[in-house]
Structure 1
Amino acid sequence: MLSDPTGSWTPVVLSADLPPGTVVPARTPAGPIALWRSASGRPSASADRCPHRGMRLSHGFVRGETLSCIYHGWSYGQAGNCLRIPAHPGLAPPETIRVATHPVEEVGGVLWVGVGEPATQPPQLAGLVPLRSLQARAGVAAIEAAAGAKADADGLLETTQGSQKIHLLLACQERDETLIHVLLEGEGSVAERVAASRAVEALRRKAEALEMERDAP
């Protein structure tokens, strides 16, 4: 996670995992969000709660340039304002009906969500190509121990597994949970990508075992 005095950026999902017209749940230090991409391809991040009845917006659906709640169909724009209430089609929703939103930056094939007002931009990840994401039931310290390397201030960790250099972009989810985005130096061959994926899965298992040892009485 990239932090500065006024806010922070969290890498929440790979661009390839959020095609146009979809919404997914994600977590940030500010709490759960609904991350969605409009039909035109613009990504947005909304608080994961409809102000009407509290239903999770990540269970909803994207229609055009709006995100709609699956419960009663209330629709919200990318700025968080309510645009449509199906039960009252002639009503212009008041500006007071809104969901909180967060800034989103798409950099190097990764979607970053801002908390607060970050004064800097997310890292460019020059030359790195996203491969996949996976969840680990282990904290950052356990992953660093398993990899034999330390993450930098941007959350990037460089490790060599076998003969292959792999970069991990870490996002702390809870005390003992971490979202791992796997990045390679260039596209790589199919065999290299499969080998890297398997290597990171093995690293995850090692980190989870270390976390369990640490928590054992």
Structure 2
Amino acid sequence: MQPDTAGSWTPVALSADLPAGTVMPAHIPAGTIALWRSESGRPAATANRCPHRGMSLSHGFVRGESLSCIYHGWSYAQAGNCIRIPAHPGLEPPETIRAKTFTVEEAGGVIWVATDEPASKPPLLDGLTPLRSMTTDAGLAAIEAAAGAKASAEGLVVPVENADTLCLLVSARDDGQTLIHLLTKGEANPAARIAASHVAENLRRAAEVLQKKEIAA
């Protein structure tokens, strides 16, 4: 089960994990996408399939303000339109050659992608500082059980034993795993950040044990 993160928004990555000029795979309920940031710093989300030969665009590379497929080098703007075909340098690609794109918002160190037309902005995470992300082979119910707390509509789980320091921002992935973004309350010092990370690792292991027991039951 997936929490209702403001209706259509999925927290796919932390801003720190996507430097300018890079691309990475990310996951929304519809499947894997190519999440990338132009060299000027603008984030974008594109369907993970080049319209030419179907190569995964998350294996491609960023050139300036466009994303290029690693196979034949076709390049796409952030709006999804093809702007360059290396084999035909004098050709202006027709508008019909397009890659599907998704709405992206970046706030508070978290990158959100809308799975449909958003009716509002992503949830505000005031007072929370991103720490890092991790994946787990456990579903939301197992994570909630390990944390002793239910997820909010925004997808936040506040572990009952660490409610003053740690929040988990959870998002189900299309491959059966759950992505967890670790958020600390306020600006934590290095020692507190390390301690929060250890707590989260223990919660992940506990959730995976509970998940296995549920499957075996």
TM-score by length of 2: 0.95
Q: What residue in structure 1 maps to residue 183 of structure 2?
A: 183
> Which of residues 2, 6, 12 is equivalent to 2:5?
2
In 2: Cα distance, 1:163 partner to 1:104 partner: 30
Percent identity for Structure 1 against Structure 2: 63
Q: What residue in structure 2 maps to residue 41 of structure 1?
A: 41
In 1: Cα distance, 2:20 partner to 2:78 partner: 14
In 2: Cα distance, 1:175 partner to 1:110 partner: 21
In 2: Cα distance, 1:96 partner to 1:102 partner: 17
The one-letter amino acid of 2:5's match is: L
Residue 214 of structure 2 is aligned to residue 214 of structure 1: yes
| SS class of match (1:116) | coil
Where in structure 2 are the equivalents of 1:2-81 lying within 5 Å? 2-4=5-7, 8-81=8-81
In 2: Cα distance, 1:21 partner to 1:74 partner: 17
In 2: Cα distance, 1:79 partner to 1:20 partner: 18
In 2: Cα distance, 1:58 partner to 1:168 partner: 26
User: Any conservation in 1 of the 2:146–2:207 contact (CA below 8 Å)?
Assistant: yes
Once superposed, what is the RMSD of the aligned Cα atoms? 1.4
Where in structure 2 are the equivalents of 1:27-176 lying within 5 Å? 27-161=27-161, 165-174=165-174, 176=176
Residue 200 of structure 2 is aligned to residue 200 of structure 1: yes
Deviation >6 Å, runs of 4+: none
Structure 2's unaligned 5+ residue stretches are none
In 2: Cα distance, 1:179 partner to 1:47 partner: 19
User: Any conservation in 1 of the 2:28–2:174 contact (CA below 8 Å)?
Assistant: no
1:15-59 per-position Cα deviation (integer Å, ceiling 9, x unaligned):
000010000001101211000000000000000000100000000
Shift in Å, 1:187: 2.0
Structure 1's unaligned 5+ residue stretches are none
Shift in Å, 1:189: 1.2
In 2: Cα distance, 1:14 partner to 1:26 partner: 11
TM-score by length of 1: 0.95
